[in-house]
Amino acid sequence: MDETVQKSAPKLVQTKWGFYQYSPLPSDEELQQYYANRYYQEGLGSYNVSYTEEEIAYFKLKGSLTYRKIAKFVAQEKMSVIDVGCGEGWLLSEFFQHDHSVLGLDFSKAGVQKFHPHLLPFLHQGNIYELLESQVAAGQHFDVVTLFNVIEHVKRPNQLLQELKKIMHKDSILALVAPNDFSSLHDHLMTKGFITKEWWLAYPDHLSYFNKENMCNFLTDHGFKVENVVADNPIDLNLLNDNSNYVEDEAKGKNTHLFRVRVDNFLAGIDADKLLAMYEILGSMGVGRDLTYYCSLL
C-alpha cells in the first residue's frame, strides 16, 4: 500500500483581520526551490531586465513621490533609512541622492548591481529575516523603514511587522506597499462581468492578499497607526474599458502599462505635488493597483 501522504491543494482562507492567505502554506524548502528555478528560468542571474527611458523616468518618479511624502513626516535634515527588499534600488537611490544615510536589504544584489551599482556598499544580501535580526541585535534604529511589495510574498507577515517595530523608534515612519487585491474595484469588475477570473492570484509568489480595509486592521492590531494611505496609478480602471481590458486579452497589457507610465510622467511634469495629492485622494478611496501605508508606532 502506498503510504505517501498527499499534501492538500492550497486554498484561500480569510484571516481574522480580513485579508486572505493561502493554506496550507508552502514549506521553506518548496519556496526556496521555486524561487531558485524561477531565478534561473527568467535569466535573473545575469539580470537580463531592461527598461525604456520612459519606464526609468517612471520608476524614478515613484521614488520621488515616496520621498516627498516621507519628508512631510520626518523633518530631520539627515534621515537614517532602511529599505527592506530594496530590489533594483530606485527608492534607495532617491534617499541617497538627498544625502541621507541608507541601507538596503535584499535576497539578491543583481538588481542594484545593474541599475545602481554605486549603492552596492550600502546593500546587505541574504535572508531578510536574518538580516533584520542582525540589525536588532546590533541595537540599530532607523528614522525611515520602507517595505515595498514584500509583505504579500512572506509566509509570516505578522512576524515581519514585529521585526520592523524593533528597528523603529517613537518618531520613525514606516512606508509599506502592498498590492490592492480583493478591492471594491475588483468586486465591481467581477460582479459586472468585466473580468471572468481573479487574475491577481499568484501562488506561490503571493501568499497573502490585502486591501485598504484589512491592511489597516492588520497594521493597527500590530501596534501601528496608519497616518495616510496613498495610491499609485489605478491601472485596474482600464479593465472597465473593452479596448484596454488586459485581463480578458493579455495582448493589451503592454500598451496599457505604457499608458500608465506616460500618464504619470506627463502629470508629474506639470506638478508632481498635485499628482501626489491626487493619489492621496485615490488612496483614501481604496483605489489603486498598489497602496502605500504610511505608519507610525502607536
Q: For residue 170, what are the contacts with CB-CB under 8 A and spacing of at least 6?
A: 297
Who contacts 37 (Cβ-Cβ below 8 Å, separation ≥6)? none
> Would you state the pLDDT for residue 41?
59
Q: Is residue 36 part of a domain?
A: yes
Does residue 5 lie in a domain region? Answer: no
Specify if 225 maps to a domain.
Answer: yes
pTM for the full predicted model: 0.95
- Does residue 35 lie in a domain region? yes
- Asked whether residue 274 is domain-assigned, the answer is yes
Amino acid at site 96: F
Helix, strand, or coil (residue 252):
helix
- Helices marked H in the chain — which ranges? 28-41, 53-73, 90-97, 110-115, 128-137, 157-166, 184-191, 212-221, 253-285
Strand order in the sheet with 208-209: 11-14, 20-23, 208-209
| pLDDT value of position 25 | 96
Residue 175, φ and ψ in degrees, nearest 5: -110, 110
CATH assignment at residue 192: 3.40.50.150
Q: Indicate the number of domains in the chain.
A: 1
Evaluate whether residue 3 is within a structural domain: no
Nearest in space to 114 (alpha carbons), one of 59, 34, 68, 151: 59
Residue 1 resides in a domain: no
Domain, as residue range, for 199: 11-297
Q: Which residues fall within 8 angstroms of residue 71, CB to CB, at 6 or more apart? A: none
Please report whether residue 132 resides in a domain.
yes
Length of the chain: 298
Average pLDDT across each block of 10 residues of the chain; the chain has 298 residues. List them in order: 62 98 94 75 60 97 98 93 97 98 95 96 95 97 98 96 98 98 98 97 97 98 98 98 97 97 98 98 98 98
